[in-house]
Every structure is written in structure tokens, then in C-alpha cells.
Structure 1
Amino acid sequence: MHDLGFASARRRFRRWRCTRPFWAGALTLLAGPPILYFPYAHISFGGLILVVPTTAGTGSLLIGVLLVVMGAIMWYQPHMRISAGITTYVLSLISFPVANLGGFFLGLLPGLIGGSLACSWSPLKTSPTDKPAASDGG
């Protein structure tokens, strides 16, 4: 009986996932945190401390937060996928010069892929449009 609850939850999640650009939103959500993290991070490798000073901390903060918001919009407002995808793509490109090479490419690449996937995704047709072919009368 324990398996029935898991199977039911899995079916509901699969149904939810198939009605929206799920992977586009997931990649976009993953693109935001690296862009947010690196301008404010003090990374240490053993005894060596790596500090990435930047004057674009505000730009990185804005880009990272907007990418997370765009990922959530792709999941919860699938009809906004084109505008969210274009916004994600542009923000990811802007993050390259503004936010330490797009979070050292850890935010740039998922953002570009997520934006592209959002623009190319289309919902499944719920009702078949198979209509009989019209005859030409001859």
C-alpha cells in the first residue's frame, strides 16, 4: 500500500511537468545562484584565499534574482514562456561582462540553454485536431 502513494505522486508530478517548460525553468533556476554567489564570495583553497572583488555586485544581484524569478515564471506561468525565455537569454548574455564571466560560466551556460528551451517549448495539444480531409468535389 505504501507504493501506491508514491506512484500516484509520481504520476501527478509527471502530469504537472509535461504541461510546462520544466527543464527550461530548472536550468534557469540553476543559473541564478552562481551569478549571485561569486561577486560576494571569499573562496579559500587551503591557505590561499581567493577574493573576487567587483564593482558590479549590484548588477550580479539583480541578474541572479531575475534569473530565479524567470525560472519560477516558466514553471508557474507557462503561457509567459516566450517572454521569460527571451529575458533569460538576454540576462545570461549580460551576465558575461557584468557578473564575473557569468558566474565563471556556471550561470551563463544553463541560462542560455534554459532560455533557448523556453522559447522552443510548446504545450501538448489536449484535443486532437484530426479532421477529415475536405474533398475537392471531383
Structure 2
Amino acid sequence: MNPQAPVYVRAEDDAWLTMVWYRFYAWRGRRPFWAGLFTLFSGFPIAYFPYADLRLGNLSLAMATTGGAGALIIGILLITLGLALWFQQAIRVFAGVASILLALVSLPVSNLGGFGLGFVPAILGGALALAWVPGQPADEAPADGRSAAVDLGKAETMAGPHGVPGQRDTETPAYASETTAHADGGRNSAG
């Protein structure tokens, strides 16, 4: 999708919906959205299943365990971590590690991590949080004020034959001097 392409709206009623979508799309792109979503949704089955009473006709299945309070705490913490990933991107590494550890603890505490319905999204959300890195917009220049074309040209001039890097601009050539050690035991070849 080209961000500079014109947006054609068929009716006036759709204009606000299009604007809301683009604002959400921009908001989602500046944060670990999918990591937060998976972590947020993983907390619900982990907290729910220890307290659930399933009824199949006259048959009642109670899944209450002694770790019901622990499962509730793990579920609430995962929901909180999911929201924190959306609104506090700076803690993404902590939230990712914490959600993975909470998912692992939920296996023995909360009916195999909510029968896998909470465990798998928590692991996935934690991994996505650890992998997410804030990006730099493509139209921004590097911090030192040079353009990207200058950096590209410099990279091409540094490359030697067959793409092997050559000498950097900051390096001085290795000329023989009295202070450099040589293969002949450190003796100067001139004298």
C-alpha cells in the first residue's frame, strides 16, 4: 500500500471510518501490537478454566483446582502485561520474559495452561515482544545529518573485489615503520 496514493471514499459516511482505520493502523505500527494481543488473550483461558463449571446435559464437569488463586493471578498478570505492551513499549523485554515465565508456570498451576489455549498464545506473545524492535521511518535522515545516498556510495567504495570489504576511511594504511611489528621479528626492513 502506497502511503502517498490518494484515498477515494464513496460516501461521506465512510470518511470517518477510513480515518479511524488509518489512525489505528499508524498506532498499531508504532508498538508491539501482536505481542500485546496474544499476551492479553492468553490470560483469559488461564484465569477462566480453574473456575469453570461445564455442563453437558445432566453431567457437570468442575475443573476447580487447588491452584485456582494462582491461576487467577497468572491470568490477570498476563492481561496486564498485554496492555502494558501496547501502552508502554519501553518495557517490552521485561514483559516478554515475564509472559514466557508466566506461561511456563501456568502449566502445572492452571490445568496445563488453560488446556493450551492460554499457554501457546502467552509463549507466542512473549517471543514476539522480545523480537519487536522500534523502527526508524524511511524518510528520516541518519543522526549525523548525512543522506542515505552518501552512506550507500561510501559502502560501495569500501567494497573490494567480489564484495569483500576494503579499507575503511578511518583506517590508516599499514606502512612499515619503526613501531610496527613485522613478520621478520620486529626488525625494520630499512636497517
TM-score (normalised: structure 1): 0.93
2:71 matched residue in structure 1: 60
Matched residues, number = 138
Q: Secondary structure at the match of 1:53?
A: coil
Alignment counterpart, residue 7 of structure 1, candidates 5, 18, 22: 18
Q: Tell me the amino acid that sits aligned with residue 32 of structure 2.
A: P
Aligned partners of 1:91 and 1:128: how far apart in 2? 41
**Identity of matched residues, %:** 43
**Residue-by-residue CA offset, 1:65-85 (whole Å, 9 max, x unaligned):** 000000000000011111101
Partner of 1:69: 80
2:164 aligned residue: none
Partner SS, residue 125 of structure 1 = coil
CA deviation after TM superposition for structure 1 residue 53, in Å: 2.7
Distance in 1, Cα, partners of 2:62 & 2:15: 51
- Which residue of the partner structure matches residue 42 of structure 1? 53
Q: In structure 1, the residue corresponding to 2:135 is in which secondary structure?
A: coil
Shift of 1:128: 4.0
Does residue 1:111 correspond to 2:122, yes or no?
yes
* Cα distance per residue 1:53-112 (max 9 Å; x no partner): 311011101100000000000000011111101100100010001111001111000000
Counterpart code for 2:58: G
Give the aligned residue type for 1:38: F
- Greater RCO structure (CA 8 Å; 6+ sep): 1
Q: Aligned ranges for residues 122-133 of structure 1 at < 5 Å? A: 122-126=133-137, 127-129=140-142, 130=148, 132=151, 133=154
Say whether residues 1:32 and 2:43 are aligned partners.
yes
Distance of 2:141 and 2:130 partners within structure 1: 23
Q: Which runs of 5+ in 1 are unaligned?
A: none
Counterpart for residue 91 of structure 2: 80
User: Larger C-alpha radius of gyration, 1 or 2?
Assistant: 2
> What letter is aligned with 2:53?
H
Which is helix-richer, 1 or 2?
Answer: 1
> 2-side partners of 1:21 and 1:79: how far apart?
10
What 5-or-longer segments of structure 2 have no aligned partner?
1-11, 143-147, 158-168, 174-191
